[in-house]
Structure 1
Amino acid sequence: MKPIFYKLTFIVSLLTSAAQAAPVELSDELPKTVTRIDSTTWLLDYGRVAFGNLRIEPTESSQDSVTIHFGEAFANGRIDRNPPGSVRYAVVDTPLDHSISQVIAPTPDKRNTTHLKAVRLPQEWGVILPFRWIEIEAYSGELNPKAFVRQSAFPSTWDDQAADFECSDPMLNRIWELCRYSIKATSFAGVYVDGDRERIPYEADAYLNQLSGYYTDNDIEMARDTFDLLMKQPTWPTEWAPHMIFIAKADWMHTGDLDWLTPRYESLKTKLLLERVGEDGLITSNKRQIKRDDIVDWPPVERDGFVFTKLNSVVNAFHLKALSDMTELAVACGKVDEAQHYHQIYKSTKNAYQKTFFNPKTGLYVDGVGTEHSSFHANVFPLAFDLVPEANKRSIIEWIQSRGMACSVYAAQYLMEALFENGADDYAVELMLTDTDRSWRHMVESGTTITWEAWDQKYKPNQDWNHAWGAAPANILPRYVLGVQSMAPNWETVQIHPRIANLNHAKGKVPTPHGPILIEWDREPQFSMTIHLPKKMNTVVRVPRLSDTKAIYINGEPVTSRLERDYFHLEPKLLELTTFVEVR
Structure 2
Amino acid sequence: KEPNGWLKEGFNDIQWENASIDDKVNRDLVAQMNQPIRIVKEITPISVNEIKEGQYIFNLGQNIAGWCKLSINKNICEPNTTITLRHGEMLKEDGSLYTKNLRFAKATDKFILKENKMREYHPHFTYHGFQYVEVNGLKPNIDLPLGTIIGCVLASDCETTGSFESSNSKLNKLWKNILWTQRDNMISVPTDCPQRNERMGWMGDAQVFCQTSIYNMDMAAFYTKFIQDIRDGQVKDGRYPDFVPHPYKGRSKRRLFSGVPAWADAGVIIPWQVYLNYNDKRILKVHYNSAKKYVDYIHSKNKNLIWKKSTGNSYNDWLNGDTIKSQDYPESGGSVPKPVFATAYFANSARLVGKMAQVLRKKKDAEKYAKLFEDIRDKFNTEFVKENGMIDGDTQAGYALALNFNLIHDDIRPDVVRNMINALKKYDWRISTGFCTTPMLMKELTKSGYNDIAYQLLLSEKFPSWFYMINNGATTMWERWDGYVKPKPNKSINRIKGSYDSIHGRISVDWKYGDSQFNLRICIPTNTTAKVYLPTVLGKDIDKKDLINIMESKKPLKTNPNIRIQKSKIGKTMLHIESGEYDFSFDLS
Relative to 1, partners in 2 of residues 1:71 and 1:314: Cα closer, same or farther, differing over 3 Å? Answer: closer
Aligned to 2:530: 539
What is the one-letter code of the residue matched to 1:419? Answer: L
Distance of 2:578 and 2:92 partners within structure 1: 55
Q: How does 1:196-345 map to 2 (within 5 A)?
A: 196=194, 197=196, 198-233=198-233, 234-235=241-242, 236=258, 237-276=260-299, 282-286=305-309, 289=311, 292-299=312-319, 301-302=322-323, 304=333, 306=335, 312-345=339-372
549-558 vs 246-255, which moves further: 549-558
Q: Which residue of 2 aligns with 1:508?
A: 498
Report if the CA contact (8 A) 1:510-1:516 is conserved. yes
Cα distance, 1:204–1:191 mapped onto 2, change above 3 Å: same
In structure 2, which of residues 437, 459, 467 is the aligned counterpart of residue 433 of structure 1?
A: 459
Paired AA for residue 44 in structure 1: F
Kept after mapping to 1: 8 A contact 2:334/2:433: no
RMSD, aligned α-carbons: 3.2
- After superposition, give the CA deviation of every residue in 1:454-510 in whole Å (9 maximum; x if it has no partner): 13xxxxxxxxxxxxxx3x32xx3xxx31xxxxxxxxxxxxxxxx4537332211122
Name which of 398, 411, 420 aligns with 1:378.
398
Please show how residues 146-157 of structure 1 align to structure 2 within 5 Å.
Answer: 146-157=147-158
Give the fraction of aligned pairs with identical amino acids, expressed as a percent. 16
Distance 1:565 1:83, change over 3 A: farther
Residue of structure 1 equivalent to 2:507? 517
Q: Does 1:527 align with 2:553?
A: no
Task: Give 2:413's match in structure 1, choosing from 392, 399, 411.
Answer: 392
Supply the AA of the counterpart residue of 1:78: G
The answer for the alignment partner of 1:103 in structure 2 is 121
Instruction: Please show how residues 71-150 of structure 1 align to structure 2 within 5 Å.
Output: 71-76=88-93, 78-84=95-101, 86=103, 90=107, 94-97=111-114, 98-99=116-117, 101-103=119-121, 125-137=124-136, 138-140=138-140, 141-150=142-151
SS in 1 for 2:305: coil
Distance 1:451 1:103, change over 3 A: same
How far residue 416 of structure 1 moved from its aligned partner, in angstroms, is 1.9
1:564 to 569, 573, 578: 569
Aligned-partner Cα distance in 1 for 2:557–2:76: 76
Q: Identify unmatched segments of 5+ residues in structure 2.
A: 1-6, 8-26, 234-240, 243-257, 324-331, 540-544, 559-564
Aligned partners of 2:456, 2:103: CA distance in 1, in Å? 30
Bigger mean CA offset, 205-214 vs 499-508: 499-508
CA distance in 2, matches of 1:281, 1:62: 71
Change (3 A) 1:85 1:156: closer
Q: Counterparts of 1:431-510 in structure 2 under 5 Å? A: 431-455=457-481, 470=482, 472-473=483-484, 476=485, 480-481=486-487, 498-500=488-490, 502-510=492-500
Partner of 1:486: none
Distance 1:127 1:454, change over 3 A: same
Cα distance change on mapping 1:328 and 1:449 into 2, 3 Å: same
Name which of structure 1's ranges 68-77 and 315-324 shifts more when overlaid on structure 2. 68-77
> Does residue 579 in structure 1 map to residue 582 in structure 2?
yes
CA pair 200-103 structure 1, distance change in 2 beyond 3 A: same
Find the aligned partners of 2:204 and 2:491 in 1 and give their Cα distance. Answer: 28
Cα distance per residue 1:542-570 (max 9 Å; x no partner): 11126999443434242434222521112
For 2:297 and 2:106, the matched residues in 1 are separated by 45
SS at 2:493 equivalent? coil
Residue 16 of structure 1, CA deviation: 12
Per-residue deviation, 1:153: 0.8
- Would you say 1:175 and 2:174 are equivalent positions? yes
1:328-366, CA deviations, whole angstroms, 9 ceiling, x for partnerless residues?
Answer: 221211212221222222223322222221112x53111
The normalised TM-score by structure 2 is 0.76
SS in 2 for 1:127: coil
Distance 1:192 1:557, change over 3 A: same
8 Å Cα contact 1:154/1:185 also seen in 2: yes
1:355 alignment counterpart: 382
**Matched length:** 499
Following superposition, the deviation at residue 316 of structure 1 comes to 1.6
Between the aligned partners of 2:156 and 2:34, the Cα distance in structure 1 is 10
Q: Distance in 2 between the 1:82 and 1:157 partners?
A: 30
How many Å apart are 1:313 and its aligned residue? 2.0
2 CA distance for matches of 1:17 and 1:47? Answer: 41
Instruction: Tell me, yes or no, if the aligned pair for 1:56 and 1:102 is still in contact at 8 Å.
Output: yes
Specify whether residues 334 and 554 from structure 1 end up closer, same or farther in structure 2 by C-alpha distance, changes over 3 A only: farther
Q: Name the CA distance, whole Å, in 1 between partners of 2:335 and 2:88.
A: 37
SS at match of 1:57: strand
Give the secondary-structure state (helix, strand or coil) at the position aligned to 1:406.
coil
Change (3 A) 1:49 1:405: same
Q: Do the aligned residues in 1 keep the contact of 2:397 with 2:438 (CA within 8 Å)?
A: no
Q: Distance in 1 between matches of 2:395 and 2:520?
A: 39
Work out the CA distance in 1 between the residues paired with 2:441 and 2:33. 33
Question: Displacement, 1:273?
Answer: 4.7
TM-score when scaled to structure 1?
0.77
Tell me what 1:108 maps to.
Answer: none
Aligned partners of 2:193, 2:205: CA distance in 1, in Å?
10
Q: CA deviation at 1:20?
A: 5.9
Distance in 2 of aligned mates of 1:501 and 1:388: 31
Q: Cα–Cα, structure 1 residues 202 and 16, in superposed 2: closer, same or farther, change >3 Å?
A: farther
Identify the residue that residue 490 of structure 1 maps to in structure 2: none
1:49 and 2:50 equivalent?
no
1:274–1:54 CA distance, 2 compared to 1 (3 A) = closer
Kept in 2: contact 1:431–1:439 (CA 8 A) = yes
8 Å contact from structure 1 (residues 183, 212) kept in 2:
no
What corresponds to 2:246 in structure 1?
none
Relative contact order higher in (CA < 8 Å, ≥ 6 apart): 1
Q: Label 1:60 to 1:298 Cα distance change in 2 as closer, same or farther (>3 A).
A: same
1:362-404 Cα shifts (integer Å, max 9, x gaps): 53111xxxxxx43333222001222223443342332233243
Letter in 2 for 1:230: I
C-alpha deviation, 1:520, in angstroms: 0.5
* Counterpart residue type for residue 392 of structure 1: R
AA of the residue aligned to 2:400? V
Decide whether the 8 Å contact of 1:35 with 1:42 is kept in 2: yes
